Amino acid sequence: MAEGGPKPSSSVKLVLLGEAAVGKSSLVLRFVNDDFQENREPTIGAAFLTQKCNLPSRTIKFEIWDTAGQERFASLAPMYYRNAQSALVVYDLTKASSLAKAKHWVAELQRQASPGIVIALVGNKLDLTSQSTGLENSMGGLSLSAAAGDGDEEEEEEGDARQITTAEAKSYADEEGLLFFETSAKTGHNVQEVFTAIANAIPESTLKTRGGPGSNRAGNGTGGDTFGSGGVNLSAVGETNKDGCAC
């Protein structure tokens, strides 16, 4: 266990939003269990998982709400983003419509969620684009301040499943003041980085140490689906605890 000594520890509520099948649950599974499953059941309502993230100065315990993506579940979302301090709005790099949906969620969060919520825009399934090898410009370092210039080169690339250029999403993210990443839940590329960036971006002042620093459920990171029905939600086992972020 990456026990950070007497570092202050606090919980952060994080909600994942985005169109169906963009890979929200897969991102969480990668982050929490460092695992990937090809066929994940769609999330029904929402799934809840936790994972710690060790920063140099403190430990953040993410309480992750992974929501269902289908349009008609949208009216349930307020139930889940209520009191959230951070949000991952996910789209699928290979599906143009998913960015539009992501923008709707950003707008919704900006208007309806807690003020000061930290939002990260995440383009997932990078492995399906020709860029996934990371040869020319690894997205690894792409975070808040990454250059937006990549777009021009990408547009020239054909035979690529990518439908949303980095430049397009990046400029939108900048406009709205969002963190921005391109990830692959499948390869794990950039996944830890997203959560670390969020952890870093949460203002110290909004951190509350509910019920004592992780006292009542310390180290009980839950996640993963193990039994036959593969239930995404309440059925998941909590024994696959893994160390905090590799940061």
Ligand X SMILES: Nc1nc2c(ncn2[C@@H]2O[C@H](COP(=O)(O)OP(=O)(O)OP(=O)(O)O)[C@@H](O)[C@H]2O)c(=O)[nH]1
57, 133, 138, 220: which one binds other proteins (CB under 8 A): 220
Residue 230 lies near ligand X (rule: CB under 6 A): no
Residue 241 to residue 182: CA distance in whole angstroms: 26
Confirm if 81 and 225 have CB atoms less than 8 A apart.
no
Which residue lies nearer to ligand X by CB, 128 or 144? 128
Judge whether 65 and 13 are in contact, CB under 8 Å: yes
- d(CA 86, CA 198) in angstroms, rounded, equals 7
Segment 125 to 144, residues that bind ligand X, using CB under 6 A? 125, 127-128
Q: Which residue has the tokens 């029905």?
A: 229
Question: Which residues in 38-97 contact ligand X (CB under 6 A)?
Answer: 38-40, 42-43, 68-69
Nearer Cβ to other proteins, position 104 or 176? Answer: 104
Q: How far is the CB of 49 from ligand X (least distance, A)?
A: 12
Please count the other Cβ atoms lying within 10 Å of the Cβ belonging to residue 92: 24
Rounded to a whole number of angstroms, the minimum distance from the CB of residue 40 to Mg ion is 6
**Parallel, antiparallel, or unpaired: how do β-strands 46-54 and 118-124 relate?**
unpaired
For 95, the token pair is: 């599906």
> Which residues are within 8 A (CB) of 111 and not within 5 positions of it... i.e. 6 or more apart?
none
Choosing from 12, 17, 22, 197, the residue that interacts with ligand X (CB under 6 A) is 22
Q: Does residue 43 bind Mg ion (CB under 5 A)?
A: yes
Q: Which residues bind other proteins (CB under 8 A)?
A: 11, 20-21, 38-46, 48, 50, 63, 65, 68, 70, 72-76, 78-80, 82-83, 104, 107-108, 111-112, 210-211, 216-217, 220, 222, 227-238
